[in-house]
Amino acid sequence: MRDYLLIYVNGRRYQVSGAQGFQSLSDFLRYDLGLVGTKVVCAEGDCGSCTVLVGRIGLPNSEGDSKLNYQSINSCIQYLYQLDCAHIITVEALKNKEQIHPIQQAMVDAMGSQCGYCTPGFVMSLAAMQEKEEVMTRKSVQDGLTGNLCRCTGYEQIIDAALNLDAKPVPSVTENFDEKTILSDFAVYLTQAVFCEFEENWNGVARKLKYFVPVSLAEAVSFQQKNDNVTVVAGGTDISVQINKERIEPDCIMSLVHLSELKSIFVDEQFVTVGARVSWSELGKFCQKNLPQLAEIIAIFASPQIKNCGTLAGNIANASPIADSLPFLYVIEAEVELTSPDGVRWLEINQFYQGYKKLAMNPDELITSIRWQMQDPDDLLKLYKVSKRKDLDISTFTAGIYIKMNNNKIQISRLAYGGVGPVVLRLPETEQFLYNKALTLETFLQAGKIAREEIQPISDVRSSADYRLQLAENILMKFYYECCKHQVKKA
């Protein structure tokens, strides 16, 4: 066990403990290290100005060598306890001697900056694309830069910069560092859990805080049993925002960053099983081949930076009625694996939510994986996300529709709507209505009217209740035109 975090920034080694580890990476960079090239605008993961690269040890290759895999992250919502044994690269480190990096030169030449405030973030996102060896096309650049907002340029010249870049071989931004040393350092320390405890005094009131970074599931489960009020942090993309905005003040954190046991996706004859530490980026890649409907939703989910960190498990545990994974999980009747010191149990997702942010889960339980049955390719499955802006936006309304046919009649239908109540809802009356009906426009027109009656959405910052009601009705027609009309013709 260690009582400090080990973090490299731009090739320099830092041991961080106590209160210093309990802060966001962007604060550490800007205030402690004076690396002010990294900007903070929103402190909630939505603008990308704070983008940096994080390198972590990946799986060894065929020769048994490991290397650091670099990804973009939002430094404002990654706290240092999530970054143990990670190498951070910031915009300051891209220069080689006095020579600016080709990515930077491309941005200069294409006039990719105006006021320059967003620019370091864009440069780092482009660097992340380079690390992933992505081929630059207009589409891939848009996808790679979805997490970066710019108010000045209108983006075209940034796209130009990226497209010009592809023509030239670009050295990896990691070439400026001695990775061997970092890797061997990490290899030693990665086997040790980290535990830090400290006290804060303010106006005579003392507050005890601690954070724990286990390296095995067993350690994690036992820590949860022994401590009250443990705040579990997976990707931190929900929880760190809550902390930054002072909506919560956790004093006992457990970071799951090192639980490599939970990092895989298993597929067997019956189930797809997704580990609780699988990031949205990894799940997205998997779905592209195996589950295009979910892949479509993941494509417009948040941003690369968020998807590199955030997890499906976190999305489920966060229990938002507009969590994008839930309509899918509801209609596919997925199961959540809960692990506690007493063992493991599986809970069907439709039983998981008991009210607004209320989970059927005990405080000493941890979500360890999520699984669902492989679907029959003839079944109809469609997922919808309606948001104000198509990309990097939280949903106004979501829907999952699943239909199994038998003899040209609907045998099973499952409908789940999000954003229309305190939890994601199944629509039993509409489902019942659909039973044994043919796939006709009339069926879905009527179903829409029934669906509308089953929900009582509210008005909020994202939309009025009326809009949500109308969507609840219309989405079934949209489904008819997109999936069924074509299906009927085929039959």
Partner 1 sequence: MKVVGKHIPHDSAVGHVTGEALFVDDLPSAKDELIVDFIASPVAHGKIIRFNFEELSQLDGIAGIFTHADLPGHNLFGPVIQDERFLAEDIVEYVGQPIAVIAGESRKAVRQAKKQLQLEIEELAPVFTIDEALAAKQFIGEARELKKGDFEKVWNEAEHKIAGTFLCNGQEQFYLESQAALAWRGENGEILVHSSSQNPTEIQEVVAEALGLGFHEVVCVCKRMGGGFGGKETQAVIPAVMAALVAAKTGRSARVAYTKDDDMRSTGKRHPYKIYYKAGFTGAGKITGVKFDIYSNGGAAADLSTAILERTLLHSDNSYFIPNLVFRAMICKTNFPPNTAFRGFGGPQGMANIENVLQEISIVLKKDALEVRRLNCYGHNDQNVTPYGQIVQNHMLPEIIDQLAETSSYKKRLTEVAEFNRKSVTHLRGLALTPLKFGISFTTSFLNQGNALVNVYKDGTVQVSTGGTEMGQGLNTKIRQLVAEEFAISYDDVRIMITSTEKNNNTSPTAASAGTDLNGMAAVNACQKIRRNLTEFASRYFSAPENGIVPSIEHIHFEAGSVYDDRLPENKLTFRKLVLQAYMGQVSLGERGFYKTPGVNLNRETGKGNPFFYFTSGAAVSEVLIDRFTGQLKLERSDILMDIGESINPGIDRGQIIGGFIQGVGWVTNEDLRYSDKGQLLSYSPTTYKIPNIQDLPDIFNLETLENPQHKINIRRSKAVGEPPLMLCLSVWMAVKHALSSVRNDITPRLNLPATAEEILQRLTELNGDLSNPETTAVRATESEVSLVSLPSISG
Q: Binding of ligand FES at residue 23 (CB under 6 A)?
A: no
Q: Which is nearer to ligand FAD, 182 or 302 (CB)?
A: 302
What does the block give as tokens for 331? 């209609």
Q: Which of 323, 370, 399, 427 is in the footprint of ligand FAD by CB under 6 A?
A: 323
CA dihedral sign of residues 124, 128, 133, 138: negative
Minimum CB separation from ligand FAD for residue 114, in Å?
Answer: 23
| φ and ψ at residue 345, rounded to 5 degrees | -140, 155
Q: Which is nearer to ligand FAD, 229 or 406 (CB)?
A: 229
Q: Which is nearer to ligand FAD, 10 or 311 (CB)?
A: 311
Which of ligand FES, partner 1, ligand FAD, none interacts with 462 (beta carbon under 5 to 8 A by kind)? partner 1
Count of Cβ atoms closer than 10 Å to residue 41 Cβ: 16
Q: Binding of partner 1 at residue 77 (CB under 8 A)?
A: no
- What's the per-residue H, E or C state across 84-139? CCEEEECHHHCCECCECCHHHHHHHHCCCCCCCCCHHHHHHHHHHHHHCCCCCCHH
Q: Binding of partner 1 at residue 113 (CB under 8 A)?
A: yes
Q: Which is nearer to ligand FES, 34 or 169 (CB)?
A: 34
- Of the candidates 429, 459, 465, which has an alpha carbon nearest to the alpha carbon of residue 447? 429
Name residues contacting ligand FES, limited to 431-490 (CB under 6 A).
Answer: none
Which of ligand FES, ligand FAD, partner 1, none interacts with 130 (beta carbon under 5 to 8 A by kind)? none
Which of ligand FAD, partner 1, ligand FES, none interacts with 366 (beta carbon under 5 to 8 A by kind)? ligand FAD
- Cα angle at 46 between 4 and 93, to 5 degrees? 55
Site map 52..91 versus ligand FES, x via CB under 6 A: ----------------------x-x---------------
DSSP line for 243-312: HHTTS---SEEEE-TT-GGG--EEE-SSEEEEETT-BHHHHHHHHHHH-HHHHHHHHTSS-HHHHHH-BH
| Residue 444 contacts residue 476 (beta carbons within 8 Å) | yes
| φ and ψ at residue 388, rounded to 5 degrees | -60, -55
Minimum CB separation from partner 1 for residue 452, in Å?
Answer: 12
Q: Binding of partner 1 at residue 296 (CB under 8 A)?
A: no
| Residue 397 contacts residue 468 (beta carbons within 8 Å) | yes
Q: Which is nearer to ligand FES, 33 or 190 (CB)?
A: 33
Q: Binding of partner 1 at residue 203 (CB under 8 A)?
A: yes
Tell me the window of 127-135, 270-278, 332-340, 389-397 that interacts with partner 1 (CB under 8 A): 389-397
Q: Which residue type is seen at 403?
A: I
Give the C-alpha separation, 407 to 84, whole Å.
Answer: 57
The DSSP bridge pattern shows strands 5-9 and 51-57 to be unpaired
Residues lying near ligand FAD in the complex (CB under 6 A): 44-46, 231-239, 241, 276, 301-302, 306, 309-311, 313-315, 317-318, 323-324, 366-367, 394
Residues lying near ligand FES in the complex (CB under 6 A): 40-43, 45-50, 74, 76, 113-119, 150-153
